[in-house]
Chains A and B, each alone.
Chain A
Amino acid sequence: MLRVEHLTKVYPNGTVALKDVSFEVPDGEFLVVIGLSGSGKSTLLRCINRLIDPTEGKIFLDDQEITSANSTELRHIRRKIGMIFQQFNLVKRSTVLTNTLNGRLGYANPFLSLLGIWPQADKDMAMAALNRVGIADKAKNRADALSGGQQQRVGISRALMQEPRIILADEPVASLDPVLAHSILQYLEQMNKTDRVTVICSLHFLDLVHRYGTHVIGLKDGMKVFEGAPSEIDRARFKAIYGEEAQEVRATALE
């Protein structure tokens, strides 16, 4: 159970990206966060693993407060929270295998990992993860030699290495075409269903929200303006959340 209480984020330049946002995410949920560009989706996800420190409010994972954790505690919490990025965030010059192993750094022997030595068990685990997302044959390739869809699969296998309880996915398919979008989201769905991993995912397309989400939060100007089941989001609600741009977004979504 993840609990977000009265979360507010004000950036140093004065931008209020989140305003008093509260919600709960029970284990095993596939929570979709929707909202216009600039509504605060990325800020919200990054506050959860504290890549961004919130200005006010508290976040709890079970009964442990993430927002007050010291650096060691925070690293231990982060190990259990995988993150998937719109731009994949792979180390482009490193191999696919190394990028996957990077997800295991939080568990690695600090000394051996600084020497670049990995136990065979970790290597086997990485190959299994790559196998699971169907790119084991690319293990020795450089990450930047892969297509966008393949790179995002490396991103997923890197998150798999953390054996996460929660996956934060920040617009994981926004850089991919619709067909690839489904193949990537299916991996997230599979983790959600078979491994009982809680998924918190921001999405832009209404049909994807309906297809994958089990619960939805809508953000507008940093405020939570909607929370409910995906089926409750009809076009009217969608328009309320997205404003005038709704037409455009839906058009893309229906493609």
Chain B
Amino acid sequence: MSNNKHPRLRLPKFTGRILISLVLLVLVIISIQVTQPDMGKLISSFEKGRQITDGLLSPDILEKKSLGSYTISIAVPVPCNSAPQEIIPDEGHRLEIVPGCANPRDLVILNGYDLGENADVNMRWVLPNGKLFSIRTAKTDSSGNLSEEIDVRPITVAVDGIPSRLEIEVFQPGSTYSASKTITDVFNNMYVTIFMALLATTIGTLFSLPLSFLAASNITRKGVVGSAVYYSVRFFLNMIRSYEPLVMASIFALIVGFGNPFAGVLALSVVTAASLGKMFSESVESIDPGPIEALQASGATPLQVVLYAVVPQIVPDFLSFAIYHWDINVRISTIIGFVGGGGIGYFLSEKINTFNYSSAGTAILAIIIVVWVLDFLSSEIRKQFT
């Protein structure tokens, strides 16, 4: 055994374990002191937490919509004799007002017949100038009739013999579900996020290409100038990579405006360029020098050598890294919105800040789905290249 040749300082096993346990214990104690976890708080705010999770867990996805609606109306002469009263039909859904005319500030009863059972009704005034004036909603009884008291407001006075009308919109009971407004918003924002990530990945990749060659030792680190370039590019890449995209995004958000997707694009582009630059450079460094030598030996120009011997070797890696990074960028850009980068993250933070937890739930659900789908897609696509 080679270990025996180079004996190293070794603690007896038992003592070693105790020492390690002690160190771990001290670390745990320190971290508790530093973060001061308050279990009591977790229990005392249980009710609040339940409300929030309830909201988050019942995402606003579908919207109830009635099967159909119809509108009928009846003229209300205010004051009396300012316009003729309407003749009320004997059958079908119909309206009646009692009394048949009114003066301002009177009360009238609006009766409706055969409107359909248990239907939601919107009641409103249609003023002589055609403006709508919402009153309130009501519900028909089990025989399909309606009887509601209506205030006759001065605004309903007839003009030039044209009376105001009471109009009802009747929603037939039974309903269908359709995508809610939130869903549309989430879609639009998700769309922004995905394309923000795509744009950032594209820009970042374009910048990373030259950087990667400059940061590859087998290409650049030749001579004094080459080494200087190599080390400074590498240093630069490492420096940028050590910044969290979030920090970068909040800085850019300050510059180009809060909630502006451009901030996210800028931050992600910079991070992507640095990170892909590093990954690509490692891939360039690991290529087989054999074909390069072979093409040089056949009299090919340096550019031809790069195109025919280097590029075929790195393209699969480059594509797969770039796709992988797009996947990562979608993930990050969902979060970047929180610090003002726009897109679904910004939407989510807005909803949370306005206590709209079910909309927030929708956004979270959408993020989960998109991340999952992209993860799957990107791994499938990358399989094609290896």
Q: Which of A's residues lie within 8 Å of B, judged by CB?
A: 49, 51, 75-79, 81-83, 85, 87-94, 98, 102-103, 105-108, 110, 113-114, 116, 155, 158-159, 161-162, 168
Contacts and interface: CB of A to CB of B under 8 A. Distances in A.
A75 B297 contact: no
A83 B295 contact: no
Nearest to A91: B291
Contact of A49 (B297, B301, B308, B313): B297
A119 B361 CA distance: 61
A114 B307 contact: yes
B288 interface: yes
A98 B293 CA distance: 16
A94 B312 contact: yes
Given A102-B308, A108-B304, 15 more contacts: A75-B299, A83-B294, A83-B297, A87-B290, A91-B309, A92-B313, A93-B313, A93-B316, A102-B291, A102-B309, A105-B308, A110-B303, A110-B304, A114-B307, A162-B298
A161 B298 CA distance: 9
Nearest to A161: B298
Most A-side CB within 10 Å, residue of B288, B296, B313: B296
A52 to B, nearest CB: 10
A102 B295 contact: yes
B369 interface: no
B30 interface: no
Contact of B291 (A89, A107, A161, A168): A89
Contacts, number: 87
Nearest to B297: A83
B199 to A, nearest CB: 28
Given A94-B312, A110-B304, A105 B293 contact: no
B43 to A, nearest CB: 60
B307 to A, nearest CB: 6
Contacts of B307: 113-114, 116
B309 to A, nearest CB: 6
A82 B298 CA distance: 6
Interface in B186-221: none
B300 interface: yes
A77 B304 CA distance: 17
A75 B308 contact: no
Contact of A51 (B293, B300, B303, B313): B293
Given A91-B291, A91-B312, A93-B316, A81 B297 contact: yes
Contacts of B308: 91, 94, 98, 102, 105, 113
A114 B303 contact: yes
A174 to B, nearest CB: 14
A162 B299 contact: yes
Contact of B301 (A75, A83, A98): A75
A78 B300 CA distance: 9
Nearest to A93: B312
Given A91-B309, A114-B303, A114-B307, A102 B298 contact: yes
Contacts of B293: 51, 85, 89
A48 to B, nearest CB: 10
Given A79-B299, A106-B300, A85 B288 contact: no
18 contacts: A79-B298, A88-B290, A89-B290, A89-B293, A90-B290, A92-B291, A98-B308, A102-B294, A102-B295, A103-B298, A105-B300, A106-B298, A110-B301, A110-B304, A113-B307, A114-B304, A116-B307, A155-B294
Contacts of B299: 75-79, 105-107, 162
